[in-house]
Amino acid sequence: MSKTKTYALGIDLGGTKVLASIVDVMSGEVISSVRKRTKAEKGQDFVSKRTIELASSALDEAQLPNGAEIVAIGVGAAGQIDRKAGVILDAPNLGVRNMDLGDLLGKHFGKPVSVGNDVEVATIGELYYGSGRGYKNFVCVFVGTGIGGGIVQNGRMYTGLTGTAGEIGHMPIDSGGRICGCGNRGCLEAYASRTAITKAIMAEIHHGRKSVLADEAAQQLKQGETIIRSGLLADAIKQNDALTIEIVTEAADYLGYGLGGVINFFNPECVILGGGVIEAIDLLFERASRRALSIALSQPAHRTKILRTKLGDFSGVVGAACLAAEAAGYVLNLE
């Protein structure tokens, strides 16, 4: 029996890109998709306008059947969120504080809006329609501009006392180490995110190391980019660029240390890895997975699965759309 189509708008608001999609939340199918660079350095007003612009474009491109419309809007934003109020409280990678995005989108589109953390909603996407389907207890870790995690316990999201559970990127792995964007030292994010990889590569190039990335990455950074794109990193590895392989290998080892700690502490059925860097760079995924299982306790090391996301780039928009539809009272057909 076919399922009734129910459409919602999902928005993935990250430090690198904004992705907006119309999703059939009864099947997880992405109907339309529009993306642009976030350009957080242009300020909070620009980010909010860009989000509304892409949401409108996704609606236009979806060309929904006559009479059909979205039932709700969901947003996953890279930062600390007041879910009840729909406010992004603090998002260092977005350069945003106290942005009332729920109210802005609600007034513009006239639909109910739900706002969550970007990794939280991506985890929901993987739980409902991705690699997490069929598992009751797992952790998602997404590696991009920063590093974030989501926890599923007994088939439901666990967000903790203050709604910040799963912040694996801010788990200290090196006492007194590198300064993180959160202001602390030694966080995993400062060693294994794409931002950390970029800083390490560019510092070595500045000090005279040779790399196929030298010219193109420098040009990219001059044009206002704050990170080296995952595709460039992957291409450099394919060309056996020694510097890129060295830095990515180091980042993978640090990521593996963090994942191994999570496996020992939470004892999940599986760990699901996603984000642009994981999707693009096999070396990072494979090395981090091996490192994690090598330091995990023997029993979980033998039984815990480490998987890639099934939905890839669309984990966030699918999860955001599902979150919003459920909050608006729609029951999703997840059997």
pLDDT digits (tens, 9 = 90+) for 81-133: 888 888 888 887 777 888 898 999 999 999 999 999 889 999 999 999 999 99
Beta carbons within 8 Å of 272's beta carbon, 6+ residues apart: 123, 126, 130, 131, 132, 138, 139, 140, 141, 307, 308, 309
Domain 133-309 in CATH 3.40.50.300? The answer is no
pTM, 2 dp: 0.90
Q: Which CATH number fits domain 7-125+313-327: 3.30.360.10, 3.40.50.620, 3.40.718.10, 3.30.420.40?
A: 3.30.420.40
pLDDT along the chain (335 residues), means of 10: 79 87 95 86 81 92 89 90 87 81 92 92 96 96 92 94 90 93 93 94 91 81 75 94 97 97 97 94 97 96 97 95 93 72
CATH 3.30.420.40 segments of the chain: 7-125+313-327, 133-309
Vertex 16 angle, CA 8 and 222, to 5°: 150
